[in-house]
Amino acid sequence: MAVLTVGSIALDNIKTQTEEHTGLLGGSASYASVSASFFDRVNLVGIVGSDFPKQHIQLFQERQIDLSGLQIVEGKTFHWAGQYEADMNKRHTLHTELNVFETFTPSLPPSYRGTPIILLGNISPALQIHVLNQIERADFVIADTMDLWITTTRPDLLELLKRIDLLVLNDSEARQLTEDENLVRAGRKILDLGPKYVSIKKGEHGCLLLSRTEFFSCGAYPVEQLKDPTGAGDTFAGGLAGYLASLQKSQITFADLKRATVHGSILASFCVESFSLERLKILSRNELNQRYAFFRAMSHFDE
């Protein structure tokens, strides 16, 4: 099967307490696509400017990512600059330039319109709906979101939630969306808004997956040297979506989603070990398998 990913493609400047890098490949679609590509074919939808480095295009090509849906237009690529505090859960945006992204209203290539697994990466809900409207049929639709859309475009987000299978968001966003401090109750309130499943990411504490009748608590890999958390959430969603695509099933079960959550968490745990996509670029199948075995041992207690 295949997974369609849509989102931003960016050139990032990132500053941590110990390092500073400029012109890094970033954006939700970049992280999600490369992550998903470890499991299945990826149909990328995105936009970049004429300044976008060839080497980044090559990376997508090496990962066998279909670029029919990538627009390259005159102008500058979306740019984001951010800084992390010593506590890397705390991030400040220093600068955002939308550039060519401002006019992004993708028209999907006909070959993309039957993609069975859809990952609507973190872009405005209106744009996510615009993409979803062009899909002829999909087996499973995943959407990511962020605090900005919850605050500024809530009606669009609520419309989107009625049309997706799984919403992925972090703990503070789940609390913000539902105005409930208790994450389990917040998760149930999100299910009442439409999606069949919700995945609440908790950073170093792992994540929760809820359906109306089932519950999964996924731990986080014990990362001791976190280098750069940028893109971890997108990488998580990409790995999850890619794994689902690789199952080649039209009916996704809760058990499938549990394993998909673990695969997403594993990809994210590698992502944060380096800046940008540096770690994912050199990641091997063998390393993924080893970390899957580690996750199994750190989570299973009765066998």
Single residue of 23, 109, 194, 206 touching a copy of itself by CB under 8 A:
206
Helix (H, G, I), strand (E, B) or coil at 133: coil
- Which two tokens mark 181? 């401090």
Check binding of 194 to a copy of itself (CB under 8 A).
no
CA distance 244 to 38: 12
Check binding of 296 to a copy of itself (CB under 8 A).
yes
Single residue of 62, 192, 214, 287 touching a copy of itself by CB under 8 A:
214
Check binding of 181 to a copy of itself (CB under 8 A).
yes
CA distance 113 to 135: 5
- Please say whether the beta carbons of 35 and 280 come within 8 A: yes
Check binding of 91 to a copy of itself (CB under 8 A).
no
Closer by beta carbon to a copy of itself, 38 or else 216: 216
Query: Strands, DSSP E only, in 50-205?
Result: 65-73, 78-84, 91-97, 117-120, 140-144, 166-170, 197-201
Check binding of 261 to a copy of itself (CB under 8 A).
yes
Check binding of 222 to a copy of itself (CB under 8 A).
yes
Strand partners, 45: 6, 69
Min. distance of Cβ 83 from a copy of itself in angstroms?
Answer: 18
Check binding of 301 to a copy of itself (CB under 8 A).
yes
Interface region with a copy of itself, contact rule CB under 8 A, candidates 50-58, 65-73, 161-169, 198-206: 198-206
Question: How many residues sit in the footprint of a copy of itself (CB under 8 A)?
Answer: 39
**In terms of Cα–Cα distance, which of 265, 202, 198, 275 is closest to 35?**
265
Angle at 220 between CA 274 and CA 283, to 5 degrees: 35
Binding site for a copy of itself (CB under 8 A): 86-87, 181-185, 188, 202, 204-206, 208, 214-220, 222-224, 226, 255, 258-259, 261-262, 294-303
